Structure 1
Amino acid sequence: MARKEFQLEIVTPERIVYSDKVVSITAQAEDGRLGILHDHRPLVTKLQIAPFSFITQEGQEENVAISGSGYLEVTPQKVTVLCQTAELSHEIELERAQEAKERAEERLQASDEAIDYSRAEASLKRAIARIDAARAQRNDD
């Protein structure tokens, strides 16, 4: 039995990160992990800063780092992800992401009152999402 496809668009203010047919999506929503297949019921949900994956029509798993606030909308025609920032895993420089993680961890461990801890935590989450997406793709190759 052939897998049914549906359109996925991942859009940031700067660009369309991805626009093509897919057969499934896995995302981290605020309420937990979410899997989407063809004919999923319509919904809108807020996405967590986390890796996002999908299976292409060719059967390849692709990983994306959703590293900024975002929303996922499911309609009968397509799934749209609107987010501040997103990177396909092959665009992520793993070394830079690891350095960003280390910097964020250092800021969080410092006892300096001038440090914005919520900003440092957000930086750490973004770096971890980027690292996880990049590593997941490299493990699949």
Structure 2
Amino acid sequence: MAGSEGALQVELVAADRTVWSGHATMVIARTVEGDVGILRGHAPLLSLLTDAVVEITDEEGDVVVAAVDGGFLSVAADRVSILSERAVLAEEIDIDAARAELERVPDGEIAEGETERRIRRAEVRIRAAEKAR
């Protein structure tokens, strides 16, 4: 797309950095209400994200894959903001470390909800890394 006139302006932001910013043709994310696909002209939206994989198709057709630890998704006037406490691009994920994290989750040493969250986050990172291969 020449000039980015037909594109979405997308920002994927973690608490400590901008993870990805640019123009895209499509964004796919998982909210607490289910998966959502966003194209140009999408209705305004504000939703909670779950721990999941986010896919951003850039203007050249390449797919940027990231793992997010929940957060918020905002869509307005062809601008998409994805805000998460932690977000990491798939190519930054050490898949062996994520698999090891699944094996290290201690039984009974962490509150049940926290154990489930650690497992879910490790699984999301593995899915993101495998999807980007």
> Fold-level match, TM-score > 0.5?
yes
Aligned runs of 1:1-141 on 2, under 5 Å? 4-66=6-68, 68-104=69-105, 107=106, 110=107, 112=108, 114-138=109-133
The residue identity in structure 2 corresponding to 1:84 is E
Identical columns (%): 32
> Unpaired runs of 5+ in structure 1?
none
CA distance in structure 2 between the aligned counterparts of 1:96 and 1:115, rounded to whole angstroms: 20
The residue identity in structure 2 corresponding to 1:12 is A
| TM-score normalised by the chain length of structure 2 | 0.92
Indicate the RMSD between aligned Cα atoms, in angstroms.
1.7
> Unpaired runs of 5+ in structure 2?
none
CA distance in structure 2 between the aligned counterparts of 1:115 and 1:85, rounded to whole angstroms: 20
Q: How far does the alpha carbon of each residue in 1:41-77 deviate from its partner, in whole angstroms, 9 at most, with x for none?
A: 00100001011111111100111001x2300000104
Any runs of at least 4 consecutive aligned residues in structure 1 with deviations exceeding 4 A, and if so which?
Answer: none
The residue identity in structure 1 corresponding to 2:88 is E
SS in 2 for 1:16: strand
Q: How far does the alpha carbon of each residue in 1:87-133 deviate from its partner, in whole angstroms, 9 at most, with x for none?
A: 000000110011111223xx3xx3x3x43111110000100110000
The residue identity in structure 2 corresponding to 1:42 is P
More strand by share: 2
CA distance in structure 2 between the aligned counterparts of 1:89 and 1:8, rounded to whole angstroms: 17
Query: Would you say how many aligned residue pairs link Structure 1 and Structure 2?
Result: 131
| TM-score normalised by the chain length of structure 1 | 0.87
Indicate if the aligned counterparts of 2:40 and 2:78 stay in contact, CA closer than 8 A.
no
SS in 1 for 2:19: strand
